[in-house]
Amino acid sequence: MLDKKTLFSAVQPSGVPTIGNYVGAINNFVKLQDDYNCIYSIADLHCLTVRQNPAELRQATLGLLALYIACGIDPEKCIMFVQSHVHEHAELTWVLNTITYPGELNRMTQFKDKSRSHADNVNMGLMDYPVLMASDILLYGTSVVPVGADQKQHIELTRDLAIRFNSRYSDTFIVPEGIIPKYGAKIMSLADPTKKMSKSDENLNAFISLYDDTDTIIRKFKRAVTDSDTKIYFDPENKAGISNLLTIYSVFAGVSIDEAVRQFEGKGYGDFKIKVGEAVAEGLKPITEKRLELMKNKDYLNKVMIDGAEKASRIARKTLSKVYRKVGLYRAE
């Protein structure tokens, strides 16, 4: 256990997780927990960069923890905690802000995108998001951070800040590596298979929520965009819709894409889309049942949160104490 590298990842409890989030992130977390010392955070502070309904945010935080456990993330193997429960995240952010340059944050693609989509609420938290993310990672001696393409800039900034702090104040932080996990696949929108599936899509038929019931899942797959051809084969460039459905089927049916193509040879698109929906519904069924069961046991979920925060705080406290000493803050003893 001790010779394993530390892996950190955080997910915001905003919106409803999709099968894309499950395949690309949450399911990977389950596999990675045996290979690394895993620390998984529910990033509720990050959510505040856009306006939230307070009651819904609290419920979503509890719901995401339940979903993690239902998907197979083991609180006995991993540290699982809510970001706002560990105050060192906010404190380290202030210190890192003092070595971060405005131009670095202004160049962030995600800041530019969110500023356009939330033009009525362009706040400093939105700009400072990557520094808080750097604090999340650096507090725990993280070596590895699983990332998607949209987070690469943030990892680069985290590395830059770690190197800059180490250069200015002596070695303090491990410089983390961003990795694309070897497990999983990229799931595209059902309405526009040239775009990644997103929980924030305004078209509810574009994504499958992990909270959708069987009838809803089947209905959405029936409406999935395909093409005017009649053949089922894997060609992401020329048959994006069919290729996306084959990818989804292969993941949830537990077969290779080649095997999926063989299974549907000579079949029509209508039957194919229904079979994909059935495979997804069947795959999500045990997760849904476990999640609903966990949501009825709030005492257990609260205990997982408290225990996780205590474990995370022990690590974070040591890191922050070292940082405060390095920058010259006096501590009375």
User: Between residues 23 and 281, which one has the greater pLDDT?
Assistant: 281
Please give the pLDDT value at position 150: 67
Please give the pLDDT value at position 284: 96
Closest CA to 197 of 150, 164, 158, 143: 150
Ordered domains of the chain (ranges, CATH): 6-184+298-327 (3.40.50.620), 204-292 (1.10.240.10)
pLDDT at 210 > cutoff 70: yes
Scanning the chain, the segments in alpha helix (DSSP H) are 19-21, 27-32, 44-47, 54-71, 88-97, 102-106, 109-117, 124-138, 152-169, 214-222, 240-253, 257-263, 269-295, 298-327
Reading the block at residue 309, the tokens are: 């925060």
CA distance 160 to 100: 9
Please give the pLDDT value at position 253: 94
**Mean pLDDT of the 67-93 span:** 97
Please give the pLDDT value at position 280: 97
pLDDT at 57 > cutoff 90: yes
Q: Which residue has the tokens 């925060």?
A: 309
pLDDT at 320 > cutoff 80: yes
Closest CA to 274 of 217, 233, 235: 217
Q: Give per-residue pLDDT as tens, 91-122.
A: 999 999 999 999 898 888 777 777 676 778 78
> Following CA atoms 95, 100, 106, 107 in sequence, which dihedral angle do they give, to the nearest 10 degrees?
-130
Q: Which residues are catalytic?
A: 114, 196, 199
Average pLDDT, the chain: 92
Please give the pLDDT value at position 184: 57
pLDDT at 238 > cutoff 70: yes
**Mean pLDDT of the 254-283 span:** 95
Percentage of the chain lying above the pLDDT 90 cut = 76
**Mean pLDDT of the 248-252 span:** 94
Tell how strand 144-146 and strand 177-179 pair up: parallel
Please give the pLDDT value at position 1: 46
CA distance 20 to 251: 11
User: What secondary structure, in 3-state letters, does 165-195 show?
Assistant: HHHHHCCCCCCCEEECCCCCCCCECCCCCCC
CA distance 187 to 207: 9
